[in-house]
Amino acid sequence: MKNSIEKTSAYIGAGFGLAAFAVFGLLPGSLLGGAAGIKAAGLLLGLPLEPGIISRTIVLISMLIGIVASGTVFVTAASAAGWLIGKAFRGASSRETASAHNHS
């Protein structure tokens, strides 16, 4: 029961992070991943890229890596922020409880 506030606020933060990722991180993650994939495919296969299955596969995998990395950053950061907010609430409530017991 000790960690319930921290866990709950971390889950709420993760939810907000997932929503923020859907709004702000999905497109940039795929864009930057795709740009890195084009660069990698160009280094491996030579420029200009031909529309073959290998070059498209490299770009696709790179886009997916960019999306996963962006999602991981958003959800982890928001979850950590939520946990810290929960920890701060627990600290404030425990100080109030301790001061109420000391004045009695």
The answer to whether 88 touches 4, Cβ cutoff 8 Å, is no
pLDDT confidence tier of residue 103, bands split at 50, 70 and 90: low
Phi, psi of 50 (to 5 degrees): -95, 150
Q: Model confidence over 5-34: pLDDT tens digits?
A: 889 999 999 999 999 999 999 999 999 999
pLDDT for 1 equals 44
| Predicted model pTM | 0.81
